[in-house]
């Protein structure tokens, strides 16, 4: 990969804040200049509604919007007809819950999740379970931060209608063996949904190779703007589904008493979409593909291995969570002695280190770990080894400051 030191020059925030060590890319990534410029270009030069106007400006806006769809299809190894623009992963998963789950699930059916899920892949299923009478089960997390796949035969009963799981944990960094789980689920006739919010920005993703039916991602975690994400779905599944939202653009014909619906993906894009944001997301995907997703993954892996080795050797008071090995992304959730995670994060901020603190929208997982909260450092393509060193040295200073409370 091009050196992270050179890549940083593409990101204006780092020039504006040279003192900052930004280790919260799991929450949201920084934006390269080309993405910021794409937003500005859209509003300055081609701002118009899409799919509706016969005039040139609207045609140009529509072409840019649909080109973004094609870019996201290339990014995911998909057919462009299978790319639905949404606001984020959360909206994508809610779309599936309401457009599929509420209409298909019934009392006695089972929904299989995992103990490491983000709330976005838990709460929507709670809502559908209340309405349908379906039962929620979860694949346990082992002590090493990996899923207990030995329990899969027991949990994957004939009543399981859907398996919905994260591709990569936002707390543990665990990369789950989705293809293996999907194969087992398909043998039972279950639908497979993948939360790709953390995997899509950091590693190569071929949605067809995963064996899943749906895959969701958020643009703001992959160098794109907020307000734009993608739901990928197998076209034969999308064709069978009813709309999530009704209104303009998603229709075929409308009468006073009834309506018929457009084919996917337009069926699931009611109203005026986030046009500029979708266009900029396409630019972000192109930017990442230019660097190479495998290169980004190897860079993340080298940083997390280096950081964990230094923490193990130099800071025994720090406890880290998640697997060790090639199935772990660039995320380190940790505790420092008995200190609260918010105290650790606040103290690190005094040294210019930005990390996340809290339950990271994964309360069930933190309960499994016996913790109310953790601090979390996360890396990306612009993170340098020098920044990891600064993080470690700052942690030592925090340890020294709080030594009487450890």
Q: How many residues does the chain have?
A: 406
Chain centroid to CA 228: 12
For the beta carbon of residue 40, count every other beta carbon within 10 angstroms: 12
Alpha carbon of 316 to those of 50, 129, 133, 145, 349: distances in Å? 57, 43, 47, 19, 21
Chain centroid to CA 296: 16
Q: For the residues of 267-318, what is the DSSP string, one character each? A: GG--SS--HHHHHHHHHHHHHHHHH-HHHHHHHHHHHHHHHHHHHHHH-TTE
Q: How far apart are CA 121 and CA 129, in angstroms?
A: 13
Phi then psi dihedrals of residue 154, to 5 deg: -75, -40
Tell me the three state secondary structure of residue 163.
Answer: strand
Would you call the peptide bond into 268 cis, given omega within 30 degrees of 0 as the criterion?
Answer: no
361 an active-site residue?
A: yes
Catalytic hit among 361, 363, 371, 385? 361
Annotated active-site positions, please? 361
């Amino acid at each position: 990969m091009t050196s992270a030191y050179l890549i940083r020059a593409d990101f204006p925030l780092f020039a504006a804040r040279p003192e900052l060590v930004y280790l919260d890319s799991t929450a949201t990534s920084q934006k390269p200049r080309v993405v910021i410029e794409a937003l500005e270009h859209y509003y300055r030069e081609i701002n118009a509604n899409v799919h509706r106007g016969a005039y040139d400006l609207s045609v140009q806006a529509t072409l840019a919007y649909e080109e973004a769809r094609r870019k996201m299809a290339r990014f995911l190894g998909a057919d462009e007809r299978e790319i639905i623009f949404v606001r984020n992963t959360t909206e994508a998963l809610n779309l599936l819950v309401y457009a599929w789950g509420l209409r298909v699930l019934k009392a006695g059916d089972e929904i299989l999740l995992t103990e490491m899920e983000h709330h976005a892949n838990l709460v929507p299923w709670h809502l559908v379970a209340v309405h349908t009478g379906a039962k929620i089960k979860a694949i346990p997390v082992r002590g090493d931060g990996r899923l207990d796949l030995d329990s899969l035969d027991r949990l994957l009963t004939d009543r399981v209608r859907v398996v919905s799981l994260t591709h990569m944990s936002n707390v543990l960094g665990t990369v789950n063996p989705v293809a293996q789980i999907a194969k087992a689920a398909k043998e039972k006739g279950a639908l497979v949904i993948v939360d790709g919010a953390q995997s899509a920005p950091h590693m190569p993703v071929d949605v067809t190779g995963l064996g899943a039916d749906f895959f969701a991602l958020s643009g703001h975690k992959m160098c794109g703007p907020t307000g734009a994400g993608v739901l990928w779905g197998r076209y034969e599944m999308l064709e069978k589904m009813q709309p999530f939202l009704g209104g303009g653009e998603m229709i075929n014909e409308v009468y006073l008493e009834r309506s018929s619906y457009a084919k996917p993906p337009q069926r699931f894009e009611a109203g005026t979409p986030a046009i500029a944001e979708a266009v900029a997301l396409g630019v972000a995907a192109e930017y990442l593909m230019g660097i190479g997703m495998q290169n980004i993954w190897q860079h993340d892996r080298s940083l997390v291995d280096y950081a964990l080795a230094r923490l193990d050797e130099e800071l025994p008071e720090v406890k880290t969570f998640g697997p060790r090995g090639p199935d772990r992304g660039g995320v380190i959730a940790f505790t420092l002695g008995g200190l609260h995670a918010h105290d650790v994060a606040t103290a690190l901020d005094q040294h210019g280190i930005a990390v996340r603190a809290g339950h990271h929208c994964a309360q069930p997982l933190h309960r499994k770990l016996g913790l109310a909260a953790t601090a979390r450092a996360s890396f990306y393509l612009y993170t340098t080894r020098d920044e990891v060193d600064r993080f470690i040295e700052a942690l030592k200073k925090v340890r020294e400051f709080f030594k009487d409370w450890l």
